[in-house]
């Protein structure tokens, strides 16, 4: 890997200002390079992206290029794909892979680390905001184990689109700057059936203020390295939680550690409540996939609920036990926070302050969940009776196989004086179930109609509130798969069309009805359109 300072890169060099605090302030692995190894007493390893044959820009987010301070005109130049395809390092970039562990599917997995993600550096934009630039699929690292460190086009498209879709839905998330085809094949066994095959390769540049995970703290704790744990906590608070600093006093006291952990719990609670609001299922809620700053991170076999089902998981690996199913995500987040608390325990005299943080998670999730119920139903406030009414609706939606997104979007059009089930005909996947459930749905709609007539919100305010909480467009798996199949044939327009639609998920967009329809029957069991493997 080499640094290129040609005249064609001059403007980008001037616009991207690097301040690589993670590298500057934390201990590094003394060995440089991608040799697989266990790394002790260090939080990262220096490793460069592996160059690719023919990098080509497929898509980029104009909002994210502006966020990090890249001129949009630069995206059209050939050098852009070379930089964000991993072929060229700009002046100031100091690439590395982070060292962390984690609990996977409920079991301690030991050292994991960035096996196919390489951070290029941290930039400071004109507003003083810090943004870490990370390439996913950029080649092997010391943490790749037996893998090649690459990513296939299908998973890269899904990560690129979902990162931006979640942001525009108002869900805390990492962002995606660019999607670059590598021009090289990547061999994957998509169905884990022994039939590995080459697929097009790609690299996503993802962006966040921090990519630190729960697992970053778990690994030094598991190894008994309290000094390294304390150093990481100190760094994380000072860089990523500056609001917790008091008159510049270093965050070394137990009370400051407790305030930080409580903040992590609060952010995690709000995050998962948002997932439940929009019907998002992460699919792999391992502790190494949980962001310390409360972002959705690591988009693998995720999915949006089509027909409402609290038991659904999009992950084929989890099909039997369904640990990470839709309805269990709040409980799994609590379990993950408990693992983080256990890792932090060496910094506390007792577990009392950590228990207070976990209790704060429960309180925050409950309060946020109620706020979302009120918004989704168009109510000024949410009472206990309203919670029961929503749960009753969930039971009906699940038993009658009703599309979550379509039902809640249509609910804003109900005439409270004369609710009509026909308004929701397009949301049912099974006509026989619709007929059988019609009396129960009608009764529920009458109850709901009476409730909103008694509510303090005016009708127009109710509709506006509901349409800001219930999206018209979400990134359904079958829509992503259609775009993937086109891109694999060399047609990138499907990716561009979806990105454009998902920029305004709450707005009615004339001419784009095809993006807001229920999952077609052909997609129910088709690969990539319902459940997905972790293969990427």
5: pLDDT strictly greater than 70: no
Report the distance separating Cα 404 and Cα 308, nearest Å. Answer: 5
pLDDT tens digits, one per residue of 473-529: 999 999 999 999 999 999 999 999 999 999 999 999 999 999 999 999 999 888 888
Find the radius of gyration of the CA atoms of the chain: 24
123: pLDDT strictly greater than 50: yes
- Which of the pair, 532 or 179, is modelled with greater confidence? 179
DSSP codes joined into one string, 222-289: HTT-HHHHHHHHHHHHHHH-GGG-BTTB-S-SHHHHHHHHHHHHHHHHHHHHHHHHHTEE-S---GGG
Which are the contacts of 134, defined by CB distance < 8 A and separation ≥ 6? 117, 118, 119, 120, 205, 206, 207, 208, 211
Taking Cα atoms as reference points, which of 71, 58, 53 lies closest to residue 10? 71
10: pLDDT strictly greater than 90: no
| Token output for 168 | 């525009």
Average of pLDDT values for 144-158?
Answer: 96
Taking Cα atoms as reference points, which of 504, 429, 443, 451 lies closest to residue 474? 504
> What is the maximal distance between C-alpha atoms in the chain?
72
13: pLDDT strictly greater than 90: no
**Quick one: angle between helices 352-377 and 459-469, nearest 10?**
130
Average of pLDDT values for 523-536?
Answer: 78
Residue 150's H or E segment, with its range, is none
Report the distance separating Cα 99 and Cα 35, nearest Å. Answer: 14
pLDDT range class, residue 531, cuts 50, 70, 90: confident
536: pLDDT strictly greater than 60: no
What was the pLDDT predicted at 485? 96
Catalytic residue among 288, 309, 386, 455: 288
pTM reported for the whole predicted model: 0.96
DSSP codes joined into one string, 305-372: -SB--TT--SBGGGTTT-TT-GGGHHHHHHHHHHHHHHHHGGGSSSSHHHHHHHHHHHHHHHHHHHHH
Can you name the residues that pair with 207 across neighbouring β-strands?
A: 133, 175
Respond yes or no: is residue 288 known to be catalytic.
yes
């Amino acid at each position: 890997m080499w640094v290129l300072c040609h005249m064609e890169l001059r403007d980008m060099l001037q616009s991207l200002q690097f301040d690589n605090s993670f590298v500057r302030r934390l201990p590094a692995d003394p060995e440089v390079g991608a040799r697989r190894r266990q790394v002790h007493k260090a939080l990262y390893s220096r490793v460069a992206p592996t160059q690719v044959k023919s990098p080509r820009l497929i898509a980029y987010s104009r909002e994210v290029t502006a966020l990090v301070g890249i001129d949009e005109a630069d995206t059209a130049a050939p050098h852009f794909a070379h930089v964000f395809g991993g072929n060229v390092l700009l002046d100031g970039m100091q690439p590395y892979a982070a060292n962390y562990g984690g609990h996977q599917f409920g079991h301690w997995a030991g050292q994991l680390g960035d096996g196919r993600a390489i951070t290029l550096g941290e930039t400071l934009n004109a507003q003083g905001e810090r943004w870490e630039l990370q390439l996913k699929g950029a080649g092997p690292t010391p943490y790749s184990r037996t893998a090649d460190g690459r990513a296939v086009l299908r998973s890269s498209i899904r990560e690129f689109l979902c990162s931006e879709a979640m942001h525009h839905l108002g869900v805390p998330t990492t962002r995606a700057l660019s999607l670059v085809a590598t021009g090289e094949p990547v061999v994957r066994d998509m169905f884990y059936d022994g039939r590995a095959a080459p697929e097009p390769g790609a690299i996503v540049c993802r962006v966040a203020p921090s990519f630190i995970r729960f697992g970053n703290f778990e690994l030094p704790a598991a190894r008994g390295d309290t000094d390294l744990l304390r150093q990481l906590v100190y760094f994380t608070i000072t860089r990523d939680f500056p609001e917790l600093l008091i008159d510049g006093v270093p965050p070394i006291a137990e009370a400051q550690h407790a305030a930080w952990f409580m903040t992590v719990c609060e952010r995690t609670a709000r995050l998962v409540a948002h997932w439940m609001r929009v019907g998002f299922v992460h699919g792999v809620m391992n502790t190494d996939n949980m962001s310390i700053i409360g972002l959705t991170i690591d988009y693998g076999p995720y999915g949006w609920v089509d027909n409402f089902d609290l038991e659904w998981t999009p992950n084929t690996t989890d099909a039997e036990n369904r640990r990470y199913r839709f309805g269990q995500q709040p409980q799994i987040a609590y379990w993950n926070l408990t693992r983080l608390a256990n890792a932090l325990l060496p910094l506390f005299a007792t577990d009392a302050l950590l228990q207070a943080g976990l209790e704060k998670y429960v309180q925050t999730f409950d309060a946020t969940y109620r706020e979302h119920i009120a918004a989704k139903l168009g109510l000024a406030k949410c009472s206990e009776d309203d919670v029961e009414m929503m749960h009753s609706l969930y039971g009906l939606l699940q038993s009658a196989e009703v599309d979550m997104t379509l039902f809640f979007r249509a609910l804003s059009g109900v005439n409270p004086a004369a609710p009509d089930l026909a308004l929701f005909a397009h949301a049912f996947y099974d006509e026989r179930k619709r007929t059988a459930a019609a009396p129960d749905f009608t009764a529920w709609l009458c109850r709901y109609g009476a409730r909103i007539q008694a509510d303090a919100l005016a009708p127009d305010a109710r509709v506006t509130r509901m349409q800001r909480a219930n999206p018209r467009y979400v990134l359904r798996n079958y829509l992503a798969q259609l775009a993937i199949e086109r891109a694999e044939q060399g047609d990138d327009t499907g990716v561009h069309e979806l990105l454009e639609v998902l920029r305004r998920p709450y707005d009615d967009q004339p001419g784009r009805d095809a993006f807001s329809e229920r999952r077609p029957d052909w997609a129910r069991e088709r690969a990539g359109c319902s459940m997905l493997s972790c293969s990427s």
